[in-house]
Amino acid sequence: MGKIRTRILGLADIEKQQKEEQKTHAETKAEKAELKEEKAVEAKKNEEKTAKVNVSKKVRGKKYLEAKKKLGTVKKMKLPEAVELLKKAKYVSFDESVDLHMNVEKTGLRGEVELPHSTGKTVRVAIVSDTVLEQLANGKIEFDVLITHPSFMSKLARFAKVLGPKGLMPNPKAGTVSATPEEVAKKFLKGTLRWKTEPKFPLIHQQIGKLSYDSKNLTENAQAFINAVGKSQIKALFIASSMGPSIEIEVEKEE
């Protein structure tokens, strides 16, 4: 129960003073409440900031740090030298994949390339048929590349929302809509790669082989992919194994 305040009526001066005191008390109380709320908001912001910092700090293991030391302090390297060093820095027992990571001029870049050597990744290629359509209707996606004859495009349209975000919707620009789908399928089974930037960022990531591959083969695969993207489009280029640190590669601009 709150404190009972008495008021002496009939005395104008005293009544006026009491009103002013009540007003001052109410204002002080409101100011304290506002200050308390501001402190609570500030504390919450600090907690969120601290949480973000903790998440961003990725703890690296001892073996990773030792592998990074082997790379030395050279900022950029020639491609063949980087491949050799990448192999020497290996510290895990399984056969890692080797990937190129590119920062390019703009989003929307795409294309295809047939590398001179296998990437070590099995590509599942499917040609649209009534059977494939039935599998899609049941939610089954058992392919990495989907190729179709133009006559099936109208039937595929209802699966666009599922296939599109996964990059699996057949597209004439990607060469996956063809009057001779069997021939196109052979090309992709042989090792033709489709590449493109991330949807919202000018970045490209592509596996080019396995760390156990001969250095010459890895270098040739990397060079073929770089040429397909175009040196003039590449702002920064890195090569890395799936578990190891990355090495920045020198990119000689085309004249």
Burial class (CB in 10 A: 0-12, 13-18, 19+), 218: buried
Q: What pLDDT, on the 0 to 100 scale, is given for residue 83?
A: 93
Indicate the average pLDDT of the chain. Answer: 82
Q: What pLDDT, on the 0 to 100 scale, is given for residue 16?
A: 65
Asked if 70 contacts 243 with a C-beta cutoff of 8 angstroms, the reply is: no
Q: What pLDDT, on the 0 to 100 scale, is given for residue 38?
A: 72
Q: Is 252 a residue whose pLDDT tops 50? A: yes
Q: Is 114 a residue whose pLDDT tops 90? A: no
Q: What is the pLDDT of residues 175-186, one digit of tens each?
A: 899 999 999 998
Residue of 5 and 99 predicted with greater confidence: 99
Question: Which residues sit opposite 45 in a β-bridge?
Answer: none
Residue 177 DSSP code? B
The three-point CA angle 107-179-173 to 5° equals 5
Contacts of 90 (CB under 8 A, 6+ apart): 67, 96, 211, 241, 244
Q: What pLDDT, on the 0 to 100 scale, is given for residue 37?
A: 74
Q: What pLDDT, on the 0 to 100 scale, is given for residue 239?
A: 94
Q: What pLDDT, on the 0 to 100 scale, is given for residue 57?
A: 53
Q: Is 31 a residue whose pLDDT tops 90? A: no
Assessment of whether the complete model's pTM goes beyond 0.75: no
Residue 182 DSSP code? H
Which amino acid is residue 247, in one-letter code? I
The full DSSP string for 218-243 is HHHHHHHHHHHH-GGGEEEEEEEESS
Question: What CA–CA distance (Å, rounded) separates 109 from 233?
Answer: 9
Cite the DSSP H helix spans in 138-174: 153-156, 160-163
**Over residues 142-157, mean pLDDT:** 93
Dihedral sign, Cα of residue 149, residue 150, residue 156, residue 162: positive
Cite the DSSP H helix spans in 72-140: 79-88, 130-137
The total of other beta-carbon atoms located within 10 Å of residue 176's CB is 23
Q: Is 9 a residue whose pLDDT tops 90? A: no
Q: What is the pLDDT of residues 80-113, one digit of tens each?
A: 999 998 888 888 888 999 999 999 999 999 888 8
Question: What CA–CA distance (Å, rounded) separates 117 from 224?
Answer: 10
Which amino acid is residue 25, in one-letter code? H
Asked if 144 contacts 89 with a C-beta cutoff of 8 angstroms, the reply is: no
Confidence of residue 55 (pLDDT cuts 50, 70, 90): very low
Q: What is the pLDDT of residues 235-250, one digit of tens each?
A: 999 999 988 888 999 9
Tokens of 174: 């990607």
Asked if 77 contacts 85 with a C-beta cutoff of 8 angstroms, the reply is: yes
Highest mean pLDDT range out of 71-80, 191-200, 202-211?
A: 202-211
